[in-house]
Structure 1
Amino acid sequence: MKELEFDGFRVILDPDTNFWAIYERELPENVLRFYEENRSVLEERMRRYRFEVDFNTAYINPTERCNASCEYCYIPPEIRRRGREMSYEALRDILERLESLGVRNVIFHGAEPLLVKGAIFRVMGEFDYRYGIQTNGFLLEEEDVDFLKSMNANVGISFDSPFREVEDFLRGKGHYDKIMQILDWFDGYANLNVITTINKHNYTQLEEMVDLLAGKVRLVLMNPVRGTSEGGRRLRPDPVKAAEHFLRAVERAIWHTKNGRRIVIGDFANILLGIVAPYSRVLQCDISPCGAGRRFISITPEGIFPCGEFIGFEEFGIGLDELELAGEKFFEVRERVVERIEECRDCEYRNICGAPCPAEVYAEKGTMFEKAPFCEFYKAVIEKAFEVIHRGDLEHVVNLRALKRVYEIRA
């Protein structure tokens, strides 16, 4: 157990189980007694949550092509130029085979899936999965929106800046106006979310992005740019400065939520879940080992990878004919745990942040066993999460009714 000092309160935290308690003066005696009585159960639950292989999600990249050319794209340009794609028959075969793995969620992902939307929409109508699609939106038409709504699909729209000139610079001319049109078409649709990639061109604009989206979407993901590609590394902002602006956006989202326009920054909510309900986390990057090749896989025309970030690293891929054997593969990625990373093994937050992302670290360092380049960013976010819990704003970020139980002990 480690005792952490904050401004006006203290936290006691067990990094192995994420058991914690907040107190302002002295730790109540019943806290440690409760911890000792339940320690073995908590350790086993965390062990099972971290290491069990359960493919509940498949990301399918039905095409290697894209109608944009974002500098930080994780898919190598030579693969995008090659442009292979899946036919309707190939997609149908994959969805049939995924049933044997117990997959429940299918997400059509980039490059740009709407380049083959005819095949995608056709198979969506034939199989009973929980569907999602991640798109830059350029090819989205109003009738497509109607179809996706009818399927109750989760739709993620890439959108990086609240300012037209910055957005069009990052994503392509006309992208800002297209996103504004898409937001009107969806008209408050509950399963619409925005994905913002934090980079050196937009990290100071995150608060304004929340202002723009409040009342239009309920969830925005603000992901630090991954350094899987050289372009991504060139666009990486200073982690500490990026954290400052990210946390301003968090506070702004809480303010809007309190004033009747609920909007949640999903990355921050997931960190909060890592503290208050660690087995309920949705995003699998904040876990060690992460969800790559353990909770989800990425399927491309070239083969199967533990995660989309590994596309381009042939040494991590397997053939499409090995889909049913996926649970026996990808052990190298699953062995990347915080206990094997020198800078992480003694960190009190090691099982809250998970030291993401193995593909990013591997691309830059040639090994997965080094700390995340955004380490200081995640530390600042975790400390803000404890502050939000302490001041009673948890309910304005996390849906407490969806959680089975939250233990919070105060003096």
Structure 2
Amino acid sequence: MEIVEFSGFKVAIDPETNFWAIYEEILPEEILKFHEENSKALTERMKKYRFEVNFNTAYINPTERCNANCPYCYIPPEIRNRGREMDYGTLKDILERLETLGVRNVIFHGAEPLIVKNEIFRAIDEFDYRFGVQTNGFLLESQDVEFLVERGVNVGLSFDSPRQEVDDLLRGKGHHRKIVELLDTFNGYENLNIITTINRHNYTHLAEMVDFLAGKVRLVLMNPVRGTSEGGRALRPDPLEAAGHFIEAVERAIWHTKNGKRIVIGDFANVLLGIIAPYSRVLQCDISPCGGGRRFISITPDGIFPCGEFIGMEQFRTGLEDLENVKNHFQEVKNRTVENIEECRECVYRNICGAPCPAEVYAETGTMLEKSPFCEFYKKVIEHAFRVIHRRDVEHVINLRGLRKIYEIEFGK
């Protein structure tokens, strides 16, 4: 067990299992005994969770085209300009074959999937998956919203700033107005969420974004921009400054939730899950190795990639004909573990953070075995998660009713 000191309390944590205890002065012997008795079982369970190949999600890019030109886009412009698309026969064949892999979640992703909305809407009607659509929203009309809501489809809208001039700069002229219209049209739809890419232009607006969205959506993802492309690297904010504004946004979300407008920052909720329920994490980026090619895959007209962030990196592509055997591919991504990264192997938070993102690291350094450029960002956010646990605010971030308690030891109540 390693000890991390905070203002007013301490945390003892086993980095191999994420077993932890919060205390003030002396760590009770009962906790040390409990950890010793259970460490082998916990280690084995964490190892299985980290390394098993068990696909549950497929991201499908049915088209390479996009109707926007975001400056940090991870898909190379030559691919977007090439503009290959899946016809419905190809899409149907992929969906039928995914059933043999045990996939239950299918997310239509981009480029911009609604460019071929007729094909994906037909697929949603004909197949029994848990469907999602990630879109910039430009092509969503009122009848499309009605279709998606009636079928319970998860919808993610890209939206980068509550300030019109900034969002339009990043996402395209008229984008801010369109998203505001869509928020009204969806009218509190429970399966609607917002995806915000944290970058140099908007990282100071995160708390303001939470205020803007509270009462309109329940979930917002705030993802640090990936440096997969040169544009993404150019827009990377200072990690520590960004962490400060991210934490401010977390606090605003907790405040709104306490005051009747529940809103959760999904990235932070996932960090909390990595601490209190490490095998229940929804997002698979902060696990080592990450979920790419292990829990999910990205399927494009050009082939299969471990994750959309790898699109354009030919060495990480395999053909559509390999779909049934995809579990045997992408070993280099699966080998990127915190134990193999010098900066990470001794970090107390290594199995909470997971050192994302391999595509970003590889694109920037040419190797998988470097730490994340947002390392300090993740450390600060994890430390804040322990503060939220200590002050008993977890229920204002995570729905605890969905979790089964396995162990808990409390003293001094």
Superposition deviation, residue 408 in structure 1:
4.6
Distance in 1, Cα, partners of 2:289 & 2:214: 33
Post-superposition shift, 1:406? 5.9
CA distance in 1, matches of 2:135, 2:394: 31
Return the offset for 1:405.
1.2
Secondary structure at 2:126's aligned position in 1? coil
Aligned to 1:279: 279
Deviation at 1:150, TM superposition (A): 1.4
Structure 2 match to 1:137:
137
Partner of 1:294: 294
Q: Which position in structure 2 is the counterpart of 1:235?
A: 235
> Given that residues 133 and 155 in structure 1 are in contact (C-alpha distance below 8 angstroms), is that contact kept between their aligned partners in structure 2?
yes
CA distance in structure 2 between the aligned counterparts of 1:223 and 1:379, rounded to whole angstroms: 15
What is the rounded CA distance, in whole Å, between the counterparts of 1:389 and 1:406 in structure 2? 17
Query: What are the superposed Cα offsets for residues 37-83 of structure 1, whole Å, 9 maximum, x if unpaired?
Result: 11111011100000000010000000000000000000000000000
Letter in structure 1 aligned against 2:37? E
The 1-side partners of 2:200 and 2:329 are apart by 36
The one-letter amino acid of 2:140's match is: L
- For residues 151-209 of structure 1, the C-alpha deviation after alignment (integer angstroms, 9 at most, x for no partner) is 11110000000001111111111100100111011111111000000000000000000
Could you tell me how far apart the structure 2 residues matched to 1:233 and 1:240 are?
16
Structure 2: how far apart are the matches of 1:166 and 1:347?
A: 36
**Letter in structure 1 aligned against 2:346:** D
**Aligned residue type for 1:379:** K
For residue 160 of structure 1, give the secondary structure of its aligned residue in structure 2: coil
Q: Does 1:211 align with 2:211?
A: yes
Q: CA deviation at 1:25?
A: 1.8
User: Amino acid of the residue matched to residue 33 of structure 1?
Assistant: K
Asked whether the 8 Å contact 1:196–1:223 carries over to 2, the reply is: yes
Quote the offset at 1:407 in angstroms. Answer: 4.2
Report the secondary structure of 1:106's partner residue: strand
Q: Within the alignment, does 1:257 sit opposite 2:264 as a pair?
A: no
Specify the alignment match of 1:50 in structure 2: 50
Question: What secondary structure does 1:125 align onto?
Answer: helix
2:357 equivalent in structure 1: 357
Shift of 1:349: 0.2
Q: What is the distance in 1 between the residues matched to 2:406 and 2:21?
A: 11
TM-score by length of 2: 0.99
Distance in 1 (alpha carbons) for counterparts of 2:409 and 2:334: 34
2:110 maps to what in 1? 110
Matches within 5 A, 1:11-410: 11-405=11-405, 407-410=407-410
3-state SS in 2 of match to 1:342:
coil
Secondary structure at 2:315 match in 1: helix
| Percent identical | 74
Q: Distance in 1 between matches of 2:389 and 2:186?
A: 33
Other structure's SS at 1:352 match? helix
In the alignment, the residues of structure 2 paired with residue 134 and residue 407 of structure 1 have an alpha-carbon distance, to the nearest angstrom, of 37
3-state SS of paired residue (2:222): strand
Kept in 2, the 8 Å contact 1:23–1:410? The answer is no
> What CA distance in whole angstroms lies between the structure 2 residues aligned with 1:351 and 1:72?
28
SS, match of residue 80 in structure 1: helix
Which ranges of 4 or more aligned residues in structure 1 deviate by more than 2 Å? 406-411
SS in 2 for 1:33: helix
What TM-score do you get using the length of structure 1 for normalisation?
0.99
Deviation at 1:409, TM superposition (A): 3.8
2:248 maps to amino acid: R
Q: What residue identity is the alignment partner of 2:329?
A: K
Assess if the C-alpha contact under 8 Å between 1:24 and 1:410 holds in 2.
no
Task: Please give the alpha-carbon distance, in whole angstroms, between the structure 1 residues aligned to 2:131 and 2:203.
Answer: 30
1:365-385: CA deviation from partner (whole Å, max 9, x where unpaired): 000100000000000000000
Tell me how far apart the structure 1 counterparts of residues 252 and 238 of structure 2 sit (CA, whole Å).
Answer: 21
User: Helix, strand or coil: the match of 2:10?
Assistant: strand
Where 2:217 maps in the other structure, the secondary structure is coil
The CA RMSD over aligned residues, in Å, is 0.7
One-letter amino acid of the counterpart of residue 46, structure 1: M
Task: Quote the Cα distance in structure 2 between the aligned partners of 1:282 and 1:187.
Answer: 25
Which consecutive unaligned segments of at least 5 residues does structure 2 have?
A: none
Q: Report the secondary structure of 1:168's partner residue.
A: helix
Q: Is the 8 A contact 1:276 1:406 kept in 2?
A: no
SS in 1 for 2:195: strand
1:362 aligned partner, one-letter code = Y
Q: Deviations over 1:84-130 (max 9, x none)?
A: 00011111010000001010000000000000000000011111000
Which structure exhibits the higher relative contact order, with contacts defined as CA atoms closer than 8 Å and separated by 6 or more residues? 1
Distance in 1, Cα, partners of 2:94 & 2:405: 37
Does structure 2 retain, via aligned residues, the 8 Å contact 1:62–1:300? yes
CA distance in structure 2 between the aligned counterparts of 1:7 and 1:219, rounded to whole angstroms: 30
1:92 counterpart SS class: helix
> Aligned equivalents of 2:40 and 2:407: distance in 1?
17
Number of the residue aligned with 1:3:
3
Aligned residue type for 2:44: E
Contact 1:22–1:409 at 8 Å: present in 2 too?
A: no
Q: Give CA-to-partner distance per residue, 1:303-326, whole Å, 9 cap, x none.
A: 000000000000011001110010
CA distance in 1, matches of 2:410, 2:65: 54
> 2:153 & 2:38 partners in 1: Cα distance?
39
Does the aligned pair in 2 maintain the 1:56–1:103 contact within 8 Å? yes
